[in-house]
Amino acid sequence: MNIQDIKFSRDRGQKEFSLALRKRVNDYFKTTGRSRFADTPMVVKTIVLLAIFGGIYASIIGGWVSSPWLMIGLWTLLGIVTAGIGFSVMHDANHGAYSRNKYVNAVLGYVINFIGGFSINWKIQHNTLHHSFTNVHGADEDIDAGKLLRFSPEQEHYWFHRFQHIYAWFLYSLMTHMWITTKDFKQLIRYRDNGLLEQHEISFGRALSELLFIKVLYYGYLLVIPIVFSPVSWWVTLIGFAIMHFALGFLLACVFQTAHVMESSLFPGTDGEGELQHNWAVHQLMTTTNYAPNNRILSWFVGGLNYQVEHHLFPNICHTHYRRISQIVKETAEEYNLPYHTLPSFRSALRIHWRMLRQLGSGGELSPIPIKG
């Protein structure tokens, strides 16, 4: 599907909802005097996460730990903290939501290159494709995991999908292993071929050179240096590095997939003229699910991504504000008789995602099941 041909509905009633919601959220920031960008708790979180990452890394290469089991434990913790940095710091910065200063956003957004990804690809896949065309088959790459996983009823069904609710969790843990090896190169070539690099005024040659440099730098500081300086055997470092990415990939996949591949999710198709049924804001409500709104610890760690509805509607607002504006979003949606999907816990979200994988794997027809917290 050519994304340039996709159009959102111009329905007047849906437009009224979008305008009302945006006005009410704008009024909230005006009346409270709060900035849309990072506040003091966000800055403190950034410092804490980066300091913990630095401390764990120093412990790995500093010669202070000689026990192989303790070393593998440190690598596992490094994967967990890396996920936290990705959820919070990098994610907000690459959406331009961390600071009103674009250079601050650029520097902090560049962190993704040090945790295994590539900022140019990430912005195109996540900001342009996923946030614009959430759950639209052929446009949203977040629901395109190749043949092994069926995330959309529009995808071709194979016999082995009936088992995907079992094996998907292992494949999730391989996600960032793919990032650091083949995915970024394949993705960059694909974006060149379909014109997305040109659309973003990015030269393929410059992007490829930057990608090669970043991969060398990444493997150098996170694999070669630990092998050389860590007091444990080289094979312990290799195992630790692999386990770090198992933890990182698994956490990232679980947090993001439980927001969109759910029983309540709509997987919209276009009409004969390429128009979607809903306008952009309503589309986000139809395709997105919140979970665990009262779990402050989880929300802190996942960068407010348990408030995915708010994030999709206002990606340019720092996630530390999502909890406060969520009531505005919920009340406005209910006023316009629109869904606001939310689940009480992360565990319930994982359970329903597992059930959705099984339904998609069966190959039968699906109808969204409304949920309310």
pLDDT band with cut points at 50, 70 and 90 for residue 283: very high
Give the tens place of pLDDT for each residue, 307-366: 999 999 999 999 999 999 999 999 999 999 999 999 999 999 999 999 999 999 998 777
CB 278 within 8 A of CB 339: no
Q: Is 370 within a domain? A: no
Three-state SS annotation for the chain: CCHHHCECCCCHHHHHHHHHHHHHHHHHHHHHCCCCCCCHHHHHHHHHHHHHHHHHHHHHHCCCCCCHHHHHHHHHHHHHHHHHHHHHHHHHHHCCCCCCCHHHHHHHHHHHHHCCCCHHHHHHHHHHHHHHCCCCCCCCHHHCCCCCCCCCCCCCCCHHHHHHHHHHHHHHCCHHHHHHHHHHHHHHHHHHHCCHHHHCCCCHHHHHHHHHHHHHHHHHHHHHHHHHHCCCCHHHHHHHHHHHHHHHHHHHHHHHHHHHCCCCCCCCCCCCCCECCCCHHHHHHHHCCEECCCCHHHHHHCCCCCCHHHHHHCCCCCHHHHHHHHHHHHHHHHHCCCCCCEECCHHHHHHHHHHHHHHHHHCCCCCCCCCCC
Structurally, how many domains does the chain consist of? 1
On the question of pLDDT at 373 being above 80, the answer is no
Q: Given this model, what pLDDT does residue 36 score?
A: 97
Q: Given this model, what pLDDT does residue 270 score?
A: 81
Give the tens place of pLDDT for each residue, 184-220: 999 999 999 999 999 999 999 999 999 999 999 999 9
Q: Is 121 within a domain? A: yes
Q: Given this model, what pLDDT does residue 272 score?
A: 72
Q: Is 371 within a domain? A: no
In terms of DSSP bridges, do strands 342-343 and 290-291 run parallel, antiparallel, or are they unpaired?
Answer: parallel
Q: Is 317 within a domain? A: yes
Segments forming the whole domain that contains residue 291: 3-362
pLDDT band with cut points at 50, 70 and 90 for residue 23: very high
Q: Is 308 within a domain? A: yes
CA atoms within 13 A on the CB side of 205: 0
Q: Given this model, what pLDDT does residue 366 score?
A: 74
Instruction: Write 333-339 long-range contacts (CB < 8 A, 24+).
Output: 333/17, 333/21, 333/285, 335/20, 336/13, 336/16, 336/17, 336/20, 338/17, 338/282, 338/285, 339/264, 339/285, 339/286, 339/370
Q: Which residues of 160-183 are buried (b: 16+ CB within 10 A; e: fewer)?
A: ebeebbeebeebbbebbbbbbeeb
Mean pLDDT of the residues in the chain: 95
Q: Given this model, what pLDDT does residue 71 score?
A: 97
pLDDT band with cut points at 50, 70 and 90 for residue 4: confident
Give the tens place of pLDDT for each residue, 351-369: 999 999 999 999 877 767 7
Give the tens place of pLDDT for each residue, 236-267: 999 999 999 999 999 999 999 999 999 999 99
Q: Given this model, what pLDDT does residue 12 score?
A: 87
Q: Is 41 within a domain? A: yes
Q: Given this model, what pLDDT does residue 1 score?
A: 59
Q: Is 367 within a domain? A: no
Q: Is 373 within a domain? A: no
| Cα 254 versus chain centre, distance | 10
